[in-house]
Amino acid sequence: MKRAYKYRFYPTPDQVELLAQTFGCVRFVYNSILRWRTDAYYERQEKIGYTQASARLTAQKKETEFAWLNDVSCVPLQQSLRHQQAAFKNFFEGRASYPAFKSKRHKQSAELTASAFKYRDGKLYMAKSKDPLDICWSRPLPCVPSTVTISKDAAGRYFVSCLCEFEPVSLPISPKMVGIDVGLKELFVTDTGFKTGNPRHTAKYAKRLALLQRRLSKKQKGSKNRVKARLKVARIHAKIADCRLDNLHKLSRKLINENQVVCVESLKVKNMIRNPILSKAIADAGWGELMRQLQYKGEWADRSVIAIDQFFPSSRRCSDCGFIMNKMPLNVRSWNCPECDTRHDRDVNAARNIKAAGLAVLAHGANVNP
């Protein structure tokens, strides 16, 4: 399997300048080719592929007006066209929206293949730079990376992501199986009644974030003070994202380590975020990221992660007798089954139903109907 190992690094002043040039060239090539392809279709109904886009880039680099494109490595420029082609493929196959133009104020990245970097003696060198990158090696690489992606986030931090081949190690077989029901009051609840709580990272920093955003709005556009204020806001957002990701990694790792089978509910988070009242809380919870982490960590550890049908009435169904309530408003947190008179905690009952449905899916290999 392939796995990306991400590290933070601190570039020298020369490397900062080189990276700024590289990011700018990558962004220019991506945007200019995207505009060219879009205009060609709307004006002449001409479809442009990767081959024509690559030829266009070669012609641009020969023009005197764009001679500065030759000051950086040609590999990240070519890779940006491959990424654009993949974006168009995802768009035409219905998996993503139309490719968007890249902004200089958002995350910047450049991908380097084997011909544009060197990894030797535990040091990583990028093309056009004699000095190795000052990387904080939090863990060793399993092998020489096949691809390296250098990025800079909106908060001004630099990261390098190394794509390596690795051999996953299966965890010992565990007799435990769990069903989880995600929520907002509790990030998730298990069928045994364990509740994780919800850190609500956005709410924790909301007051400070609002203050910095007000200060940013008052700064004059184009001024250095505005740049400083924008960085402060970006650092708060980065802090919130890092805290959320750290918590999700710990919870997902705990679930995968302790359970052989993890049963979850397949959710359409993008559709749920359209709710104008709960959208902020749903986005802050990170349900989609939690499910993604469970899937790939389960695959690495040889664990089973079962996603049941999203329309399965896990909250309305009695986990004891199977009776299904007609309605179950969100404000109802506990209820009595009219059939067997069992008292249920809404979330724990849903987690038990999800576990039962997931085990049925695992046994029969089919969706469970209500």
pLDDT digits (tens, 9 = 90+) for 32-73: 999 999 999 999 889 999 999 999 999 999 999 999 999 999
pLDDT at 80: 96
Tell me how far apart the alpha carbons of residues 180 and 187 are, in angstroms, rounded to a whole number: 10
First vs last Cα of the chain: how many Å apart? 37
* Angstrom distances, CA of residue 206 to CA of 37, 239, 240: 42, 12, 10
pLDDT at 369: 44
Q: For 117, phi and psi rounded to 5 degrees?
A: -155, 160
Q: What share of the chain is helix, strand, coil (3-state, %, to 5)?
A: 45, 20, 35
Strand partners, 308: 265
Neighbours of 196 (CB within 10 A): 17
- C-alpha closest to that of 255 among 304, 323, 310: 304
Query: DSSP per residue over 160-186, as a string?
Result: EEEEEE----PPPP-S-EEEEEE-SSS
pLDDT at 275: 87
Q: What is the pTM of this model?
A: 0.88
Question: In a 3-state reduction of DSSP, which class is residue 150?
Answer: strand
pLDDT at 310: 85
- C-alpha closest to that of 158 among 349, 345, 16, 1: 16
Tokens 């974006």 sit on residue: 87
Tell me how far apart the alpha carbons of residues 349 and 193 are, in angstroms, rounded to a whole number: 9
Tokens of 93: 């196959």
* Angstrom distances, CA of residue 250 to CA of 58, 200, 246, 294, 307: 47, 16, 6, 11, 20
Low-confidence stretches of the chain (pLDDT < 50) are: 367-370
Tokens of 339: 């059939």
Amino acid at 56: R
Alpha helices in 201-342 (DSSP H): 201-204, 206-218, 224-258, 269-272, 279-285, 287-300
Residues with catalytic roles: 181, 265, 347
**CA 288-278-232 angle, 5° bins:** 75
Tell me how far apart the alpha carbons of residues 202 and 237 are, in angstroms, rounded to a whole number: 9
pLDDT in tens, 314-332: 888 998 888 898 888 888 8
Question: In a 3-state reduction of DSSP, which class is residue 357?
Answer: helix
Strand partners, 344: 335
Residue 52: enclosing H or E segment and its boundaries?
Answer: helix 50-62
